[in-house]
């Protein structure tokens, strides 16, 4: 029993990363109706920046949250106005999809040029600290990651429910045309949700830097994982996306334990295909959204 509980705990902790990324994807998809395939690459980019400031200036990764999040927000705004502003308004979503592919290609290879192909990771003085409950051992760092995920989900939820801009974002996710007719600036709404999505990539990047080792190829895989989490949880629901991430983490850990580490990917992509085919609205999503795509 102890080992099963340990697997579940590990799964939830791993899944919190997927959850943060999936919330970002969900926000961007909600308003712009595109799946931002470069999300994983952005996460890796911010992980490298965190790593870099730790190596060069000794900044504690958790402290760099305060610089990375605003930076990511600004980068998001910049990317939106430079690349996606026109494409987001097009009926043909393939343009945005290919733009994201191009961006991913570009940043992945820039990272390769700057930092090389060796996997990087941060070794903190408190990396090995463990919380022990009975037979279950939990790394404090991973627990902090879960805390980050919950805090991000709560922050996005409060933003959507309690602020005027958040209300506009929600309205735009329901019906962009009607929202524009109400006098809401649709470009601004898209820009804000895109920037918040990238800011969440910043959060996930810091989290990744503290716990995992990463290299330039990791972004693509991670974007797919976030996408699987989003498909699993369902689009249009902040906590659904988080739950999808946690669920995916559990599935991967169970697969690693019962089938073998080499088969993790098959399990998660298999679940992805099954969800896409049989449950396109996801576990916690609203039905209407997928049909409108």
Binding site for another protein (CB under 8 A): 34-35, 83, 86-87, 90-95, 97-99, 101-110, 112-113, 220, 224, 227-228, 231, 262-263, 265-266, 269-270, 272-273, 276-277, 280, 290, 293
CB of 116 to another protein, least distance (A): 11
> Angle at Cα 251 formed by Cα 149 and Cα 219, nearest 5°?
55
CA nearest 197: which of 185, 207, 205? Answer: 205
Nearer Cβ to another protein (6/85)? 85
Question: What span, in angstroms and rounded, lies between the C-alpha atoms of 281 and 277?
Answer: 10
Nearer Cβ to another protein (53/96)? 96
Nearer Cβ to another protein (158/293)? 293
CB of 12 to another protein, least distance (A): 23
CB of 185 to another protein, least distance (A): 22
CB of 250 to another protein, least distance (A): 19
Nearer Cβ to another protein (104/138)? 104
Nearer Cβ to another protein (43/209)? 43
Nearer Cβ to another protein (99/256)? 99
Check: CB of residue 171 under 8 Å from CB of residue 57.
Answer: no
Nearer Cβ to another protein (166/245)? 245
- Those residues whose C-beta lies under 8 Å from the C-beta of residue 136, and which sit 6 or more positions away, are 2, 5, 6, 9
CB of 103 to another protein, least distance (A): 6
Check: CB of residue 236 under 8 Å from CB of residue 285.
Answer: yes
- Those residues whose C-beta lies under 8 Å from the C-beta of residue 37, and which sit 6 or more positions away, are 97, 100, 101, 104, 223, 227
CB of 98 to another protein, least distance (A): 5
CB of 94 to another protein, least distance (A): 5
């Amino acid at each position: 029993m102890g080992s099963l509980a340990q697997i579940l705990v590990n799964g939830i902790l791993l899944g919190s990363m997927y959850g943060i990324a999936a919330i970002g994807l969900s926000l961007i998809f909600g308003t712009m109706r595109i799946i931002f395939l470069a999300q994983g690459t952005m996460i890796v980019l911010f992980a490298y920046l965190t790593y870099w400031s730790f190596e060069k200036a000794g900044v504690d990764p958790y402290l760099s949250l305060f610089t990375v999040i605003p930076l990511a927000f600004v980068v998001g705004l910049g990317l939106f106005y430079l690349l996606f502003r026109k494409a987001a308004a097009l009926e043909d979503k393939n343009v945005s999809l290919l733009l994201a592919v191009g961006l991913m290609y570009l940043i992945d290879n820039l990272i390769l040029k700057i930092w090389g192909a060796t996997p990087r990771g941060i070794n903190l003085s408190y990396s090995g600290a463990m919380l022990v409950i009975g037979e279950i051992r939990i790394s404090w760092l991973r627990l902090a990651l879960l805390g980050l995920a919950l805090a991000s989900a709560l922050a996005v939820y409060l933003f959507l429910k309690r602020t005027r801009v958040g209300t506009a974002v929600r309205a735009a996710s329901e019906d962009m045309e009607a929202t524009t007719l109400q006098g809401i600036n649709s470009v601004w709404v898209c820009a804000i949700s895109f920037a918040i999505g990238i800011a969440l990539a910043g959060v996930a990047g810091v989290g990744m830097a503290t716990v995992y080792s990463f290299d330039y190829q990791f972004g693509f895989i991670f974007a797919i994982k976030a996408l699987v989490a989003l498909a699993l949880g369902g689009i249009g629901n902040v906590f659904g996306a988080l739950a999808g991430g946690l669920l995916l983490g559990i599935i991967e850990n169970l697969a690693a334990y019962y089938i073998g580490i080499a088969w993790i990917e098959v399990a998660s992509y298999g679940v992805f295909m099954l969800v896409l085919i049989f449950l396109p609205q996801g576990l916690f999503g609203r039905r209407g959204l997928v049909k409108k795509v």
